Structure 1
Amino acid sequence: MSLNITCDGVRRRDFLKVGVLGATGLTFGSFLRMSHGAPQVPGAKAKAAIFINLPGGPTHMDTFDLKPNAPDTHRGEFKPIQTKVSGIEICEHLPLLASTMDKFTILRGVSHSIAAHQLGSEYVNTGNRPLPSLEFPGFAAVASKELGGPRDLPNSVAIPNSAQKAGYLGVQYSPLNTGKTPVQGQSFNVRGIALGNGLTIEDVEKRQGLLKQLDTAFAGYEKNSQLLEGLDRFSQQAYEMITSPRARAAFDISKEKPEVSEKFGKSGFGQSCLLATRLVESGVRFVTISTGGWDTHNDNWNRLKTNLLPPIDQGLSSLLTALSDRGLLETTTVYVTGEFGRTPKINKTAGRDHYPRAMFQLMAGGGIKGGQVLGASDDKGEFPADGKGYSPDNIAASFYHTLGIDHTKEYHTSSGRPVMIVREGQIIPELFA
């Protein structure tokens, strides 16, 4: 019997088999895992996630995947140092992260083929290769839809903003963007949550009553509008957050003891990590932190050691330690990535250029085993040592798994098109304890 392949790459015989399995109670996701021989992995442990985005593309060769024996054309200026875990070395300008190596996993040899900032960012922020015909939802939108959260807190917060989009899920699953980063020791006011300019709770109550009257008058216009549905949700939740002491307190980093705040440092990134800790502790399900400047086409080593690495070292190590100390690391997944790595070969302006063929990512918490390195790049840092490496799809599938989200689950676009959350990904069993 001939086998016909659909445009999605599914053979007709397999499609019929999926139908039979569905009748017996097995899902399409279960069938995919069975057909690929995927091993079982430990169940989800995370209730929340912190996604740290490093836009611009950080170099793997000068951070978490140094090659001290590579030729001068590739090696770079920094030396490796030993971490807390025997046999694992990282950059000398990351001493605090070296001391907390037992709390996170380094993924080396992560590889894809998109060297453009926007498209590469879309790939690593969704786990799906971009398509011109479809805008995939980012991690935050999927987590918001699947995990929900308390009514008086936003499901998802982005500090100061996020490259992730709600995509075909609709604006109601977009994050609350703070629009700025917090400052050490100062109360952090977020538009839409903090009361200002003499506004009182009574004023808000009156305005909410008026909005309810308007909603009743214009309800008929909302039935088929995804945008209006999202805006209505935002309006209701904004009211609940404004009148919630818990929500306002969650954003107020000035309530932290000075000795705690100082550990995170004075940088915007460090204080964003402190804010993320408070938000997760308060019940927010998903927090995104973005800190850019990693597009180091020139003056790479000076920019790294002076401006870029110190805040990451202090902020991220303090985040992992604080989550651990507060009993939150096991139930909070931390995921750190840029959109790609940078060229192993040094360019003529003492920099490195876009390079998606080899990069690093970091993961921690949520049942992920700390103190390990998974994968490897070759001796020049040019390609995955095994020729394949880890794809953003597989890492996304693993990330969702920590949160108890089945990455093979299907959603439907506004036109009714069925789309899996991550179309090509498989869970990486080695990540988990």
Structure 2
Amino acid sequence: MNWQPNRYSPSRRAFMVASATGFAGLQFGTPKQAQASEIKPAAKAGKAKSVILFFLCGGASHVDTWDMKPDAPDGYRGPFAPIQTSAPGVRFCEHLPMVSKQAHHMAVINSVGGTVNTNDHHAGYYYNLTGHVPDTTFLTLGNDRRPYSDDWPFMGSVIAAKKATASSLPGAITLPHKPSKAPYTRPGQFAARLGVEFDPLYVSSNREAPLKFHAPALVLSGDITAQQMHSRTQLLSQLDGARREFDKNPARQLWEKHQQRTLDLLLSSAATKVFDVESEPAAVRERYGKSVNAMSLLVARRLVEAEVPFVTVFWKEDTAIKNQCKSAGGWDTHGNNFNCLKDHLLPEFDQAYSALLEDLHQKGLLDETLVIVTSEMGRTPKIGDVRSGGVSGAGRDHWTHCQSVLMAGGGVQGGQVYGSSDRLGAYPEEHPVTPADIAKTAYYATGVNDLRATDSQGRPYNLLDEGEPIKAIF
């Protein structure tokens, strides 16, 4: 999130002390945004106590997975065959055999139109994560468009702000990375105008060590020792000098919120144990798979057990396949789309996602956990991308005009397809919806009915005016 020194500039010493006590994983903002909203708890609880958002970074090809078009003409139809699933009338790609066995838990929404003015990743992230159409700065700035403090908030931050929880952990947690690499951080994944205290806690891992999860806000650095961590008094004394400087600043309340949040995390055994996936039985880990994305979904299940309201898993790219797929190694398959899906992306997704649904169901958690799978866009129905040699490159380019979203649990009636795209998968046809409707559906499932907030001048506003929940899938 952009820090704007012209609005608020604490001393370098104060900021360094804050960083040394674990604030590296927490975002600083402006006094205006710190006071931006007075959150009232939801008046009526929904069935879903938690949400897991599995975001397929790069733009997953809807027409090669769960909205296949076997009757489309050559040049559009891919080589994959659809197969029957555990839900009558629901068909998935042949390379999703394990997910197909979980279709009776899933509602497949095949009519999501998320058209953005740039048809690119930045705007696609923002629209699908916030429910708000990107403004003109996304067009004028492109990939230089940074996250702004007055952006509309991430749906996970809204749910975390609105839902009361007994957990000692933050209300929104994101893993295993923050997309994308700075300075090209994707907008839409932060609390923004809602207030930085509702930013997700970012927990990191990587493909080389998928069992190790590192939460920057849980790590002490500087002159703070592990022994001091167990003494609240000693830790507070380390902060005291910086705090006195902040006492003179309009951002004092924000500072105190961050201080308390970090202390709670540092002193909570639950905060570290929940990320210890090595404590899971080997058979459970093997069912999910060995990748960092698989282990992130396993951590997500553990966080649901810990009553965290919103958990986001952003698909971690595999740089080993980036040249093959003409991408960053994720779902942005500009080249060699079909081999990249068949050999890499679909097998990893198939095992991990099906394991999550199976695991949640067996533990009796699926009914109270809404699981959403989405992406920033779909892919072009027509095969061939000029940046990978056209038709011969067998890639699919960006396509924000139509995509699919999967939902399971949290009161959703499984075994159904909602809406449809046209014969090519190019545009929504029956029951068209937008990312705003998807966000409103997540709010509906979690009982977040009051989307009112108040800005720093005491003026009320609505966090999302557009969209309606898709009640037909419940």
Shorter-chain TM-score: what band?
A: 0.7 to 0.9
1:201-248 deviation line (CA, Å, top 9, x unaligned): 4445254231463466345324x32xx544432322222222222221
**How far 1:391 sits from its partner (Å)?**
1.1
* TM superposition score normalised by structure 2: 0.76
Q: Secondary structure of the equivalent of 1:314?
A: helix
Structure 1 distance, partners of 2:422, 2:243, is: 64
5+ residue gaps in structure 1?
Answer: 1-41
RMSD over aligned Cα, in angstroms?
2.6
Deviation of 1:302 (Å): 0.8
- Which of 235, 239, 261 is matched with 1:208 structurally? 235
Q: Percent identity?
A: 35
Report whether the alignment pairs 1:120 with 2:120: no
Letter in 2 for 1:158: T
Superposed counterparts of 1:185-200, under 5 Å: 186=211, 188-193=213-218, 199-200=225-226
Of 242, 247, 261, 1:220 maps to: 247
Say if 1:419 and 1:161 are closer, same or farther in 2 by CA, change over 3 A: farther
Matched-pair contact (CA < 8 Å) for 1:409–1:420: yes
CA distance in 2, matches of 1:353, 1:415: 44
Corresponding residue to 1:374 among 410, 413, 418:
418
Q: Distance in 2 between matches of 1:63 and 1:368?
A: 21
2:322: which partner in 1?
Answer: none
Match status 1:147 vs 2:163: yes
1:354 aligns with 2:398: yes
Using the TM superposition, give the Cα deviation of residue 254 of structure 1 relative to its aligned residue in structure 2, in angstroms.
0.9
Unaligned 5+ runs, structure 2: 1-43, 138-149, 179-185, 318-329, 385-389
2:61 is aligned with 1:59: yes
Alpha-carbon separation, structure 2, partners of 1:219 and 1:97: 52
Runs of 4+ in 1 over 6 A off after TM superposition: 182-185, 195-198
Counterpart CA distance in 2 for 1:374 and 1:215 is: 54
Query: 1:151/1:67 Cα in 2 relative to 1: closer, same or farther (>3 Å)?
Result: closer
Structure-2 residue corresponding to 1:29: none
One-letter amino acid matched to 1:46: A
Q: In the superposition, relative to structure 1, how do residues 352 and 210 fare at CA in structure 2: closer, same or farther (>3 Å)?
A: same
Aligned pair count reads 388
- Paired position in structure 2 for 1:412: 454
Residue 364 of structure 1: aligned partner: 408
CA contact (8 A) 1:183 1:271 kept: no
Task: Please give the residue correspondences for 1:1-400 in structure 2 after superposition, counting only pairs within 5 Å.
Answer: 44-114=46-116, 115-131=119-135, 134-150=150-166, 152-162=168-178, 163=186, 164-181=189-206, 186=211, 188-193=213-218, 199-205=225-231, 206-211=233-238, 213-214=240-241, 217-218=244-245, 220-222=247-249, 224-225=250-251, 229-291=253-315, 292=317, 293-347=330-384, 348=390, 349-386=393-430, 389-400=432-443
SS of corresponding position for 1:333? strand
Alpha-carbon distance in 2 for matches of 1:151, 1:105? 29
1:427 matches 2:469:
yes
The amino acid that maps onto 1:344 is: P
Q: Contact 1:340–1:355 (CA<8 Å) still a contact in 2?
A: yes
Q: Which amino acid aligns with 1:103?
A: H
Once the 2 structures are TM-superposed, how far is the Cα of residue 149 of structure 1 from its aligned partner? 3.1
Q: Residues of 2 paired with 1:158 and 1:394: CA distance? A: 22
**What letter corresponds to residue 245 of structure 1 in structure 2?**
S
8 Å contact from structure 1 (residues 172, 229) kept in 2: no
CA–CA separation in structure 2 for the residues paired with 1:283 and 1:380: 41
SS at match of 2:83: strand
* Contact 2:203–2:213 (Cα < 8 Å) also in 1: no
Contact 1:151 1:237 in 2 (8 A): no
3-state DSSP of counterpart to 1:363: strand
SS at match of 1:108: strand
